[in-house]
Structure 1
C-alpha cells in the first residue's frame, strides 16, 4: 500500500525536485547551483528538503495535489546543511551543519538537541540502528552519535609519524 502510494506520487515529487534546481539556475552565476539534500518519509507522506547554502530545512506533505509546506526549521546558528538523515522509527531528523548536528522532531522540526562537532571535518551522516555514524569527505569513519543520549563519541585519530 505504501509502495503504491509512493509510486503514484513520485512524479509530483520529481517535479518539485526538478523545479528547485531550475529556479536556482536563474540566480547570478557567482552564486552557482547548490546541492539539494532530500529525505523521504513515505509512511507519513512527508519529504524534507534542504539547500546546502541555507541553514533551514523545509518539510512538505505530499499527496493529494501540490506539496504543502508543513514546517520550516529555524536556522539557529546553522549557516548551511551538509547532510540530513531521517530516523523514522524514532521520529527524528538528523541535520548536519558545519559546526553541529541538530536533532529535530521530524513531525514538526522542533529542535530536540544540538550536538557540537568541535571543529571535526564531518561531511556526511549515515543512519544506524543506535544513532548516526559520522564520516569525513573521504568516507573515513570519524565517530558516532548515540540516538538515546545524543552525545558524540569520536574515534581516536592515528598518531602522526615522528620525524
Structure 2
C-alpha cells in the first residue's frame, strides 16, 4: 500500500478543498488518517467525521443567517457561489449548486418549524451525529423533507 508523505499527494481528492479549507491542522489530520487506513477515501471520511464533530455551532448559525438573507433576494449566479461556498464550509465536502440550494431550502424549512436557534441545533445534530453519509444521501434526505414540508431526519439514515 502507498504511504503518503505530503498533503499535495492528496490534493486531487474530490472535496479536498471543502474538507481542509486551507487549515493546516485538517490537512495534517487528513494525511495521518490516509496513512493510518492506507486509503485516500477512508482517510477522507474519517477526517471529515472528526472535523464535523468539532465544528462550532456558530458556523451553522452563520449558514442559517445566510440562507435567511438569500431567501429575500433573487438567487443569481453570485448568490449560488456564496451558497456553495458556505454549504461546503459546513458539510466539509464537495457540493453542487443543486445540493447547496436544496440545503438552503431545507434550512429555511427547519427555521420555519423550529425558529432560528432550533434550525441551527437541528442542522448541528444532523451534521455532527457521528455518522458519515455521502453528500448525495444528504441531498436526497433533505429533498424528501422539503417535498413533504416536514423535518424527518435528525441524523442520517443508516443503510
TM-score band by shorter chain is: under 0.3
Where relative contact order (Cα < 8 A, 6+ residues apart) is larger, the structure is 2
- State the TM-score, normalized to the length of structure 2: 0.27
Q: Considering only CA atoms, is the larger Rg found in Structure 1 or Structure 2?
A: 1
- State the TM-score, normalized to the length of structure 1: 0.27
